[in-house]
Structure 1
Amino acid sequence: MTTIYNFSAGPAVLPKEVLQQAAAEMLDWHGSGMSVMEMSHRGPEFMSIIAAAQSDLRELLAVPDNYKILFLQGGGLGENAIVPMNLMGRKPQPAIADFIHTGSWTAKSIKEAQKYGKVNVAASAEANGHTVIPSRDSWTLSKDAAYVHLCTNETIDGVEYHFAPDVSADTGDAPIVADMSSHILSRVIDVAKYGVIFGGAQKNIGPAGLTIVIVREDLLGHALPICPSAFDWKIVADNDSMYNTPPTYAIYIAGLVFQWLKRQGGVAAMEQKNIAKAQLLYDYLDASDFYVNRVAKDCRSRMNIPFFLRDESLNTEFLTQAKQHGLLQLKGHKAVGGMRASIYNAMPIEGVQALVSFMKEFARAHT
């Protein structure tokens, strides 16, 4: 039977061990007689699940004590509205937020933020087709911004920050807000360099429906009056993510993923695996005349690797044959076309090896 490798950008592949454990616990979690989906979110069983998930995530990312970890709904796109509603109130109205425009997701973020305040696009890679990260010395930041927004890994365009920028010299107290939806937990980060980190779970954490927010405590309590109570970070923090019914099953699966990551050696060990996987695919792309990756080498994502067949009339045949070989979800996003291999934490290196082997075979057959 052909081994299946799922390269979906999200909802994405989950570790096999996690799925097996969830299946085993589906009808009866730890002798409780209940599925996690049936539990009261305020009962002792689920309270132990969410407490362990928060603790494990704090450990994995070395989250400082003066940061709160929140479990919310809304996804990454929803959080693009929730962020300005929580931070624009830090400054006199109408407040301004700075954005570094690096691709499709920052474009969505800018559009949302414009509903709640002013936006300054401090730097943009649009003229370069979003194939680079604008250099830090090119950023034209505001003097009194409420925050500076980055998408540190663009899922669609395949660019990733490989540095943690410092903006304090230009903006004073403006915190950096980082959308890390598609690479959180894939690499070591210094949480203290950011005021807010957020991400939808459906890439490296778990199923769709859960959003993680890591927020420095001094940034709580500034929500605009129009912010719904369920999305006011201070209210959520004060209620330990229990102000409303949280996405219980998604939190449970996320907790299993956190435990799996710890068994793999933690984030530092996972980063080395991700470097090896990405290097394997990029090395082949760079050596090939049949395929091309257009992202600048120093800005390439380790998680989302877009590539194009030089003869795009072969796209449909490529995808059809890839599926026959057990290589799924390789079609690029409709906004950019081509192909895209998303190789998140749960993708084993054998999956990347299988993809490269197929790509070589397909190129030989069509050259």
Structure 2
Amino acid sequence: MVSDTVIVKTARHSMGTRFEIVVCGDDEITLRTAAERALDEIEQVEEQLSIYIPDSDISDINARAANEPVKVEPQLFQLLKRAAELNAATWGAFDITVAPVMRALNAMASQDENPPDDEAMRLEDARQCIGMSKVILDDALGSVRFLDKGVMLDLGGIGKGYAIERAVAVLRDANIVSAFIHGGTSSIYALGSPPGQDAWLVGVTDAREPNQRIATLALRDKALSVSSIYGWKKAEKSKRCRHVIDPHTGMPSKGVLRAYAISSSPTDVDALSTAFLVLGVEGVREYCKQHPEVGALLMLDASKCEKCTIVAFGLDGIIKLNCAQCEYFVTEAMNR
């Protein structure tokens, strides 16, 4: 850092995680005010998107959209449209309608190893509710309508990225040119670069050995999102369970342990890192080929290896591998 640079760090709990912002500049009051306003923006997004807040916009949609069209606030409507576009672009791998299946799996996880038949039936019924084809977004009315009673939206797979995108806009409006913001370390935006440096550096750890750093990503005006297949534990047995659902099967995703997505949009990468867990190597290769502005890093579940096998696409000039660990890397450069 340049010696006379002012650095302000602030944080707040929102959306079930801790958001932190680092802003750099020459006036502490300006920096702190901008950072606090950015965190205020994140809280406003949570109040709109959370399915755990009864009077949120999403809760209202879920309560009424099966019976009538629900007019939606314009920015939220655009987010829903973007979620639909990402659903199509990822061949259905990212889907904001998987909530019923997640709830059914959560219920089953609290049961014994062999859940009762009615729980299994509820899971099957929930699988029938998955699909963006069951959600009608009316541009003329700016409204949302569900075609089936059991449909439910959950923007948990895109909400943190969207909140960060809104927060970055607040920082830009305040003429902040150097900042780093993250939500729970899994959703990140690097605005500009630290004073005197070319980029913000983000470490990548092994999915199986969290204390082992295996690579470094250099980010400048880039967003990064990380998704993992593991996220919650079975009640009595403390068993780690896979919490990312493959919308095609209605079952937990497998094969990729952790996925990183990098592009200029925090909203997009939040959705894409989830989708990449579902798509696997071949699907991600094809996606990055069709969208050269997106980079990806996958940690694969290599059963014959104690550590992860890594596959990277579109990260030339961004990723630096830890040479001491290269024996279990597989890197692939995209032919552009």
Higher relative contact order (CA 8 A, sep 6+): 1
TM above 0.5, yes or no, is no
> Could you say which structure has the higher helix fraction?
1
- Name the TM-score, length of structure 1 as normaliser: 0.28
TM-score between the two structures when normalised by the length of structure 2 = 0.30
Normalized per residue, the structure richer in strand is 2
